[in-house]
Chains A and B, each alone.
Chain A
Amino acid sequence: METSQIIIQILNGISYGLLLFLLAAGLSLIFGLMNVINLAHGSYYMLGAYLGLVIIRHTGSFFLALGGAALLMSLIGIIMESLFLRSLYKRELDQVLLTFGFAYIFMDIARWLWGGTPRSLPKPLFLDNSINILGEAFPIYRLVMIITGLTIALALWILLEKTRTGIIIRAGVNDKEMVTAMGINIKLYFTGIFALGAFLAAFGGVIGGPIIGTYPGLDFEILVLALAVVVVGGLGTLKGPFWGSILIGFIETFGKAFFPNYALVTIYVAMALILIFKPTGLLGKEESS
């Protein structure tokens, strides 16, 4: 394989990885704060893509679709958390089952509204171009995906590390009860982090739409990938899903390029190996002793 192709595979891996990061970050933070694996997280991604498609059709604006779909889905996240999950407070297993139920409902709604045919989101016209990397064409859109993903990762890092809200969220990951005893209404943060997770997932759905498209079933496919990311990277942090996403993105793209016959299993092999040797994930939240 030539250098140019390797560079392109690396860029593909990074852009795919950062797309997964948009999902995995929310999944990881929700788990860290609430001990709930949100199995409807893939649905946020898929519905985000569909909503983006609808908005593009009506307005013609990709950026309106990006913001609109993400905001609408964060609203759905808020409703889901405050009306349903909250009534099962501290019953984490029941909450996980509830999110699973929601995932099925969302899938049926998508099938009912948009049918079973896979659809693709149109790229913004000015990004529908390629640049030349050592003689190989590389789509500008993917480059923009990388920049967007990195910007969001940076913004999330600032939110978590440099603001009081972020300090409270990290404290909540350590010890929720103590956070309440400090006079902080942690339930507000639960809702907020759920809204943020839904926002990022739907944002990812629209960003990934021109490349992956959207179809019923994508919700669970992407959920499994995001779960692989958090298993590999570790839960409850931002660093974990970030490096986990990049790693899974690489394994996925390089696996397809080098061992096409095993493309379906490469990720799971990596996941199993990491679970055997480092059960908390590469950068996971340590078990409290």
Chain B
Amino acid sequence: MLQLDEIHTYYGDSHILQGVTMEVPQSSITTLLGRNGMGKTTTIHSIIGLIPPKKGKIKFKGVDITGLPAYQIAQMGIALVPQGRRIFRSLTVKENLIMGWRRGKEGKLENDLERIYDLFPILKERSQQSGQHLSGGEQQMLAIGRALMTNPELILMDEPFEGLAPTIIKDIHRKIFELKNSGLSILLVEQNIHMALKLADYVYIMNKGRIIYEGTINQLKGVEEIKYLLTF
């Protein structure tokens, strides 16, 4: 579905991603693990085109998308659930959902909206409220719903559990699983190794702008030194 081939991304003068190679297969959850400031968000932003890489190639469904403007990349079927949710504050919940809507299989905006409301019923209750008056968990559901409204094939989720209460984490956890089973591909950025272990099919571990380890969950569990690298 998505391939990153030796990408190098700079933020101003600092060389953040130093040759990142990774892959997100279809209908799977791939997790990118790493501590703060290791380049995880930069990787996400490189993929969606907000900070285009200077070197290397990014392919989505076999098409080279490196250097395309972000809106074109998004239109090809990649959606972003950003760090900190970034809900549009002056929009209502419903407006947040419909603003980026793109026609999918269902074809109609109302159908897609109903689908999101089925997934997160609380959003229906809050549909006329302003996005800024939601709780953290509700905002996260809205951010995921907003991304789904673009009918994407790949969702990039940047620390979706950050700062949430355990019960809500569980709930969102389940929803992400459902999304994967419905055929969606997910790239999940996480700091928390336990969270990653519960969700992921395949894990990449990032340190200082490089991938230092990759493997399946079972392989990862056997590697003791990983736990040192990721002590929190």
> A: which residues have CB within 8 A of B?
164, 167-168, 170-171, 173-175, 177-186, 288
Whether B74 lies near A171 (C-beta < 8 A) is no
Q: How large is the interface on B (under 10, 10 to 19, 20 to 34, 35 or more residues)?
A: 20 to 34
Whether B90 lies near A186 (C-beta < 8 A) is no
Whether A180 lies near B70 (C-beta < 8 A) is yes
Task: Identify the closest chain A residue to B102 (Cβ).
Answer: A183
A interface: dominant SS: helix
Interface centre among B75, B82, B100 (most CB of A within 10 A): B100
Whether B69 lies near A185 (C-beta < 8 A) is yes
Q: In B58-85, which residues have CB < 8 Å from any A CB? A: 69-71, 74-75, 79-80, 82
18 CB < 8 A contacts A-B: A167-B99, A170-B95, A171-B90, A174-B89, A175-B88, A177-B50, A178-B80, A178-B86, A178-B88, A180-B70, A180-B71, A181-B80, A181-B82, A182-B99, A183-B71, A184-B99, A185-B69, A288-B89
Whether A167 lies near B89 (C-beta < 8 A) is no
B residues less than 8 Å from A173 (CB atoms): 90
B98 within 8 A of partner (CB): yes
Whether A170 lies near B90 (C-beta < 8 A) is yes
CB < 8 Å neighbour of B74 from A167, A174, A181: A181
B150 within 8 A of partner (CB): yes
Whether A171 lies near B91 (C-beta < 8 A) is yes
Chain A min CB distance to B140 (Å): 15
B residues less than 8 Å from A185 (CB atoms): 69, 71
Chain A min CB distance to B116 (Å): 14
Chain A min CB distance to B125 (Å): 20
B48 within 8 A of partner (CB): yes
Bound complex: CA of A177 vs CA of B45, how far in Å? 11
Whether A180 lies near B74 (C-beta < 8 A) is yes
Bound complex: CA of A4 vs CA of B99, how far in Å? 49
A residues less than 8 Å from B82 (CB atoms): 178, 181
B8 within 8 A of partner (CB): no
